[in-house]
Structure 1
Amino acid sequence: DLPKLPVQAKTVGRVYRGKDGKTHRPSTLLTLTLDSHGPVHSARRRGSWVAPCECGRLHAEFDPLIGTPVDPASYDYRRAALDAIHFAKVLDRFWQNLRRAAGWNVQYAGAVELQKRFAPHAHFAVRGTVPRALMRQVAAATYHQVWWPPFDAPVYKVGGKVPVWSPEVGAYCDPASGQPLTTWQAALDALDDEDATPADVIRLGRVDARGIEHGTKDAERAIRYVTKYLTKDLVDNTHPRTDPQQAHFDRLHAELAVLPCSPTCANWLLYGVQPDGVKPGLVPGRCSGKVHQRTTLGFTGRRVLVSR
């Protein structure tokens, strides 16, 4: 339930007049994150004050547990992987919603990086300001629905008996019965039912917006903060340095390896569905898409995000 205003053909924010008669047109440093997938070890600081971690301990900045789950058994790795895969889509939706709610063409430039928990988040320099309450309202109302066939539980397992290509049928067939798997179009047709639900829904988490003004030290810091990620690989700052971090990285990558990344992904065979544009030679669990690579850890959108 968001306000919807006619989008004015302007790209600059509101001008404020100070008591001294000078005019100010501040901008914004905006950070958008995904929701929590479970408590992680953290060293939370507010100046000289250090807050206890969820585990009850006080962690040093380079504690080997930083960024890893407090309880790996209950951490939602599947949700973390899916959120990473579709993070770029929910960011696009956020900017669409914000422009409609603010009523003008909000401009931005930013970059995506990985947090210490290996979840993507994005930093933006935004031209002009939007009320923080409205930004939080827009973020809370923003979501992206994935209308794909269900993929809650795999029918086949990597390393076991998986569907095989049949040249006679021109399709992938069950290794036991020899029956062709459901085609992509048939799986989509099943979603036409009025009771159908999306296979997944991705939402944003925390929003942090700070005002910055041209010519100030805050503005210079904000520029450095955003641009330092432009020339680095996504995982440059998050290489696992300790055994707990490596275990967390490997567990997340293992989840990404078997999830479908697109309608043409070979991993659909694990869920009993033939990919769109099916062809011989597909190996479930070995899709060549960037989503499944250790250098991206799920995020495949553009690293540098600039408004049109």
Structure 2
Amino acid sequence: MDAVTNQLIDLALQEDIGTGDVTSKYFVPEDKQTESSIYAKADGVVAGLDVAKEVFSRIDASLNVVVLKQDGDPIAYGDHVLEISGSARSILTAERTALNFLQRLSGIASQTAEYVRMVEGTVARVLDTRKTTPGWRAIEKAAVVAGGGSNHRMGLYDRAMVKDNHLVAENKLEALQDAIDRLKQDQPDVEVELEADTLDQVKGFLSLDGVDHLLLDNMSNEQMKLAVAMRDAADRKPLLEASGGVNLETMAGIARTGVDFISVGALTHSAVALDLSLEFQ
């Protein structure tokens, strides 16, 4: 598990436990041993199992935690995903934090799977965005992958994405080409993506060298079809990403335009937690 996720688990436990779990301390016998399980109360796709397991182990290394599913597995009402046995006090102390992670990440995986189903039979792949919960980006993006989606850039450092606000500062093609050349010289592994709001911009950007992706922002399906045709007819063939106005109702139509990717901020910023519960046996 990466250092950021380890730190996130520590922070989550610290905010929940504080100076101690007074309920378990005074109302649960210290020597009480029990068996418990986490199960689904709704259909979906599970994600975050390793994080949940780590929460229990962080509270009490003597707990026996058995993972019954794998991230990305579809689950139905009543399916058990984790079994935990050992100290009742420890299980109760870890319960809410483990469920918070598991429910949130499974909700993202479940929502992603719904969007992925809408693009079946097309070349389009579903992308996440940087609209993630601060500090949760790595595990939320892992949940997107568990749901069948793909990851966009992790941050500002691994892809140059020149959007409309950047273009307000400088939009001349010669200056853009110079900036692309300098970036590729200094950091050849960093990809370049340019945002296009119009077909005229698409035409201009297709004349540039070193452009790996074009973002088609808030274009109609007809405009996106034309952009795909323009790209296919050009010597340079950057990948095309659709963005804006994307939801479950519009997803299939966008995918049929022939774009390579569809980015969906809702995968992470609007996912509803999957209903999961822990019960003692």
Give your verdict on TM over 0.5: no
More helix per residue: 2
Scaled by the length of structure 1, the TM-score of the pair is 0.29
